[in-house]
Structure 1
Amino acid sequence: MLELTGLAKRYGEFQAVRDITLTVRPGELYALLGPNGAGKTTTIRMLMGVLRPSSGSARVLGLDCFAQRAEVMRHVGYLPDEPQFYDYLRGGELLRFVGEMHGFSAREAADRAAPWIERLGLSDAIEEFAVNYSKGMKKKLALCCALLHEPELLVLDEPTNGLDPYATRTLHDIAREQAAAGRSVFFTTHLLDQAERLCHRIGILHAGRVAAQGTLEELRAHSGLASGTLEEVFFNVTGSRAEVTGSEAVAVTPA
């Protein structure tokens, strides 16, 4: 479904991402895990064609994400970390516009959006201007947009940032349902417990490269741990000490 091969991004002398190679299979939930600044969002932006990579390739269903971007986007639903909308476009207008971009009539777009609007708790706000939406409401509206055309690949960048516990649980349920239907879900997060609960496979991103990937059992074996949580595996792989607040881990590189 998704193949990243040797994907890299350099800004002058700074190597933000180096040699990202991974595969996400149909029906799979795959999390790219890493601390802030590890290169997660840069990787997503290259996959989505927002950033041009310095080297490497990305393919969805065998299509080149850069040379065949328009075709790729027919198969991909994207939820950015910080969705941006026109301030004075209403939620319903935005969904109809997105639907029409995918070739649906305004009526078809509205019909496709309706169950997602209800499920994500946007019914009372859908005709409000986007400027009046909270961060969480914008995130939910963007998720509706991403799901509208029933994509084979769902790409989620830090998907639960800004969501309350109820919306977070709903998003988790949707992700599981998409995978159960044979679609692929690829998301980035720095929340270790979220990745451990949800995912079939996990990639640990450290210093701009995938330091390890696989199932939790495979990651334990890679780390030489007979057992242990994903948190323990993560710090073993990255070689960082950490300060952990709740379920969020922030890596601190040794001096």
Structure 2
Amino acid sequence: MYFMLSYRDVSKRYGDVIALKGVTLEFQPGKIHALLGPNGSGKSTLMKIALGLVKPDSGSVRVYDIDPVRDPVGARRLIGYVPEEVLIYESLTPSEWFSFVGSIYGMDRELLRERLDTLIRVFKMEEHMGKLGGELSLGNKRKVMLITALMKEPKVLILDEPFSGLDPEVARVLKEILRRKAEEGVVIFSTHILELAEAVADDITILRYGEVVARGPISELKGKKDLESYFMEVTGLSSELQELLKAL
């Protein structure tokens, strides 16, 4: 079977720390996939390998037919990526930033404007387009990053902790966008919160210490020992997170 994104026996070390150990995963469109695990479980490393930002020590990865180790630029053309860290140019306005990135992507100006008009509206960024990046709130900075990833309509969407810093209304909008994108492409997001994975994803992959300990539809994984064990590690929900989950 052909997979849009696949990992075959991928391992990665950082010195003495094992980030990934023999990970084999395949992703197809039609579902929202969640990578679930505590900090340090290997979620971010797995994502960065698909973009060629991190080179695996062993194993292979394919984005469609592209090997991101050999052709990272080719892989990134197909991927929309939002890292966990907030990374924007604070000296540029969102409007200037989107135009700059659109020119790098080689996007038609009219097409770019049409897509941006829609994304700016759904993320409620109209009043902030003329502000410098450094003047934006954390939530609005994350919106800029999400719009940047979405505006080229990537075939593979990879989001690292995308709901962090978003208010409940925007989180609901993002969930709807992910649902639409999953109909035609691969959608993967990471989280360390079990309830969030359950509220948004169709399938989840649980990582612990760089290994896959459980994977499948949430309906099938509920009640299994691995899922229960991870759930026992999750601390009580904050009031802020409770409000976000209610919106989803």
Contact kept, 8 Å, 1:95 with 1:110, in 2: the verdict is no
Aligned residues: 236
Alignment-derived partner of residue 63 in structure 2 = 60
Counterpart Cα distance in 1 of 2:95 and 2:110: 11
For the residue of structure 1 that corresponds to 2:127, the secondary structure is coil
Instruction: Normalising by structure 2, report the TM-score.
Output: 0.88
Aligned to 2:128, the other structure's residue is in SS state: coil
Distance in 1 separating the partners of 2:234 and 2:202: 26
**Which of 211, 228, 232 is residue 235 of structure 1 equivalent to?**
228
2:176 is the alignment partner of 1:173: yes
Look up the SS of the partner of 1:115 in the other structure: helix
Aligned residue type for 2:187: V
Corresponding residue of 1:203: 205
Report what 1:145 is aligned to: 148
Say which is worse superposed, 121-130 or 194-203, in terms of deviation: 194-203
Secondary structure, aligned partner of 1:151: coil
CA distance in 1, matches of 2:118, 2:207: 35
Residue pair 1:96, 1:110 contacting (<8 A) in 2 also = no
Gaps of 5+ in 2: 242-248
Helix, strand or coil at the partner of 2:235: strand
> Paired residue for 2:245?
none
SS in 1 for 2:106: coil
Is the aligned partner of 1:103 residue 2:106? yes
Aligned 8 A contact 1:91 1:130 in 2: yes
Distance 1:205 1:50 in 2: 20
Scaled by the length of structure 1, the TM-score of the pair is 0.86
Of residues 103-112 and 158-167 in structure 1, the stretch that sits farther from structure 2 once superposed is 103-112
Deviates more, 1:100-109 or 1:83-92: 100-109
Shift of 1:241: 4.5
Q: How is 1:110-189 mapped onto 2 (pairs within 5 angstroms)?
A: 110-180=113-183, 182-189=184-191
Is 2:42 the counterpart of 1:39? yes
State the AA in 1 paired with 2:228: F
Tell me the SS of whatever aligns to 2:233.
strand
User: How far did 1:84 drift?
Assistant: 1.0
Question: Residues of 2 paired with 1:243 and 1:176: CA distance?
Answer: 26
| Partner Cα separation in structure 1 for residue 219 and residue 109 of structure 2 | 47
Poorly superposed stretches of 4+, deviation over 3 Å:
105-108
